[in-house]
A and B are shown apart, each in its own frame.
Chain A
Amino acid sequence: MDLLMPVVNFGAIMPELILSVVAMVLLLVNVFLKTEQKAYLGYLSLLGIGYSLYVVMTAWGTPQTGFSGSVLQDNFALFFKGIFLVGAALTVLIADQYVRREECNYGELYPLILFATVGMMLMASGTDLMTIFLGLEVLSVSLYVLAGFNRKNLKSNEAGLKYFLLGAFSTGFLLYGMALTFGATGTTRIAEIAKVAAASSAVVQNPLFLVGMLLMAVGFSFKIAAAPFHMWTPDVYEGAPTPITAFMSAGPKAAGFAAFIRVLMVALPTLKADWTDLLWILAVLTMTIGNLIALNQDNIKRMLAYSSIAHAGYALVGFTAGNSIGTAGILFYMLTYTFMNIGAFAIIILVGKKGEPNNNVSDYAGFGFKHPVLALVMTIFLFSLAGIPPMAGFMGKFYLFSGAVKAGYVWLAIIGVLNSAASVYYYLRVMVFMYMKDPTEQFDWVKMTVPVFITLIICVVGVLGAGIWPAYLLGLAQNAMPF
């Protein structure tokens, strides 16, 4: 019997492997823990994430391919893996307090977060449409469950169900697009797709190929919550448990961008003229719709949901530019966005009561007088989200828009800046309530715990550090550009 041996290179998937193993161990350990002991799982998963992050850092600069071209762990993938791991770690840190308060302290939380991270990492390093698709599915399925994680809360159930139905629908688009691309080119490896397309103009002119690209773009747009495929975002973000909302707004969006960038730039450069136009429209729609509707939101989680749509729009601006600074800007932006958004959600968790009846912006009235430090931290995050210097958000937007200007999309940059200016209104509104209204509540239930404290420190350092000394991170991001 002649055995065909597969080409295996565990080095190329080492971070994923570590996390998967840790997650499975956690699932086993979970069985033996009492409800009040579940926090140990969090510490264990932090260990796993830390080790994985260490592997990611040491692998920097040494691209590896494995599994006959299914994955490629280059700097681009590593940078994104770093983002996901940071996002996962911060989520784990803020999750414990929330699940205790909401009495949904089920140990499966941590393994699911880890599995979601594995899915994201596979999306970032996948160089085969199948790998990318399955990574996305692992991520999505974990997120469906996580969104409905607070089983006794009807809003959480609604969020899980809505996310599942719409997510499954969008997955159909993505998969159909991949199938058509496969049909047009005869391969699923994205490097091969580019080769086949470059070799013959018949493939490029094939309607199957174009429709495949379109459908894949629709699928990815859903994942990054770009308008007009953003409908799910507000309801899901509002209903999902707050740490999960924080998680969803950071990592998965970045993962969507990672796969989107890789597929369009590596596999379909021959269609660049087509997808740039498409992205232009998407970017404008996403920014505008996100910001305009956010102006009108009272619930702070909903507001941040629309703001996250708007931020996806900014990132799409950089993607439309397609040049080094714009794309590196996306990487930079996604990392800093992780810090500021998870930080903001950490404060929301602290302020919230059981069942979260006080999530409206008006419930923050006078928060600045009762908890000046926390309010200051929140202000930093909100300023950063609004893009006010010297926070990281400003630098991120600066890179994205300057990339667009350099590539000749001046109008796009102008629309972006206008949008950014409009967004200041709703971020400032929170601050107005925090500092300029009289307190109606005592906020005596707001208790800082050590993990949340650590989270806030990391986030503040991240936001300010990347805002004041952006060169180092941007250098890394530009190093990560293989295109």
Chain B
Amino acid sequence: MDSIFFYIVAATAVISGILVVGCKNPINSALSLIMTFFSLATLYVMLDAPFMAAIQVIVYAGAIMVLIVFVIMLLNIRIESGKRYMHTRVMGAILGAVVLIETLYVIMRPASQNLTGGKGPVDAAMVLNVGHTELIGRALFTDYLLPFEITSILLLVAIVGAVLLAKRKV
């Protein structure tokens, strides 16, 4: 049941991901991107990470994509000319094929050389017992307190910069 569901969601994510680059109409691309984000959020839920899922939807699908759609609407681009970007498409297809082959190579390796790599202190049992949100909160406000605080400086700089560069009259 879980694996069937996984394949459905994964297929949705991949197909909508392809549509993002494949659609000629930018709005349709944006919609496909939202769909991709949504599928990813579903995958997070299946990985017992509901907080990540909710944040994924709120931040990416809910806020960032609204802004992107907003910009597309303001610029009112109807259909971008397909020919102009043909060379990038060929390059993209080649790169994509390379990455696909690499991924297949990695997946097909024997199980003894598995790629799970290192594991941190958090495991699935801990997520279920303590709660996903609380674990993230703990990590964020203890071990990663400094990066968290730097983020606030980063946002301040970004706001100052945006106002400085974009305001009509400084």
B145 at the interface (CB under 8 A from A): yes
B96 at the interface (CB under 8 A from A): no
Determine whether the beta carbon of B120 is less than 8 Å from that of A70.
no
Closest-by-CB residue of B relative to A70 is B146
Q: Which residues of A have CB within 8 Å of B117?
A: 183-186, 203, 206, 208-209
Determine whether the beta carbon of A4 is less than 8 Å from that of B138.
yes
A252 at the interface (CB under 8 A from B): no
A142 with B161, Cβ < 8 A, contacts A6-B145, A137-B154 known: yes
Determine whether the beta carbon of B150 is less than 8 Å from that of A187.
no
B144 at the interface (CB under 8 A from A): yes
Q: Which residues of A have CB within 8 Å of B158?
A: 141
Query: Closest CB of chain B to A55's CB: distance in Å?
Result: 18
Q: Which of A128-136, A219-227, A314-322, A360-368 contacts B (4 or more CB under 8 A)?
A: A128-136
Q: How far is the CA of A7 from the CA of B146 in the complex (A)?
A: 10
A328 at the interface (CB under 8 A from B): no
Q: How far is the CA of A41 from the CA of B45 in the complex (A)?
A: 50
Tell me how many residues of B have a C-beta within 8 Å of chain A: 27
Query: Closest CB of chain B to A358's CB: distance in Å?
Result: 27
Interface size class of A (residues with CB under 8 A): 35 or more
| Residues 204-221 (chain A) with a chain B CB within 8 angstroms | 205-209
Encode contact with A along B136-161: 1 for CB under 8 Å, 0 otherwise.
00100111111100110110111011
B55 at the interface (CB under 8 A from A): no
Determine whether the beta carbon of A68 is less than 8 Å from that of B150.
no
Determine whether the beta carbon of A115 is less than 8 Å from that of B165.
no
Closest-by-CB residue of B relative to A138 is B154
Query: Closest CB of chain A to B131's CB: distance in Å?
Result: 14
Q: Pick the residue among B118, B143, B147 that contacts A203 (CB under 8 A).
A: B118
Determine whether the beta carbon of B164 is less than 8 Å from that of A145.
yes
Q: How far is the CA of A118 from the CA of B156 in the complex (A)?
A: 13
Closest-by-CB residue of B relative to A104 is B170
| Residues 56-111 (chain A) with a chain B CB within 8 angstroms | 66-71, 106, 108, 111
Q: Which residues of B have CB within 8 Å of A68?
A: 142-143, 145
Query: Closest CB of chain A to B155's CB: distance in Å?
Result: 9
B115 at the interface (CB under 8 A from A): yes
Determine whether the beta carbon of A207 is less than 8 Å from that of B150.
no
B63 at the interface (CB under 8 A from A): no
Q: Pick the residue among B106, B113, B147, B164 that contacts A106 (CB under 8 A).
A: B164
B83 at the interface (CB under 8 A from A): no
Determine whether the beta carbon of B142 is less than 8 Å from that of A70.
no
A130 with B164, Cβ < 8 A, contacts A206-B117, A207-B115 known: no
Determine whether the beta carbon of A115 is less than 8 Å from that of B153.
yes
Q: Which residues of A have CB within 8 Å of B87?
A: none
Determine whether the beta carbon of A106 is less than 8 Å from that of B170.
yes
A412 at the interface (CB under 8 A from B): no
Q: How far is the CA of A108 from the CA of B145 in the complex (A)?
A: 27
A151 with B165, Cβ < 8 A, contacts A4-B141, A68-B143 known: yes
A351 at the interface (CB under 8 A from B): no
A148 at the interface (CB under 8 A from B): yes
Of the A-B pairs whose beta carbons lie under 8 Å apart in the complex, a sample of 29, sorted by A's number, is: A4-B138, A7-B142, A24-B156, A67-B146, A68-B143, A71-B146, A106-B170, A108-B164, A112-B161, A115-B153, A115-B156, A122-B150, A128-B146, A130-B144, A131-B150, A138-B150, A138-B154, A138-B157, A142-B157, A144-B161, A149-B164, A151-B165, A185-B117, A186-B118, A187-B120, A202-B113, A206-B117, A208-B115, A208-B117
| Interface set of B (CB-CB < 8 Å, partner A) | 106, 113, 115, 117-120, 138, 141-147, 150-151, 153-154, 156-158, 160-161, 164-165, 170
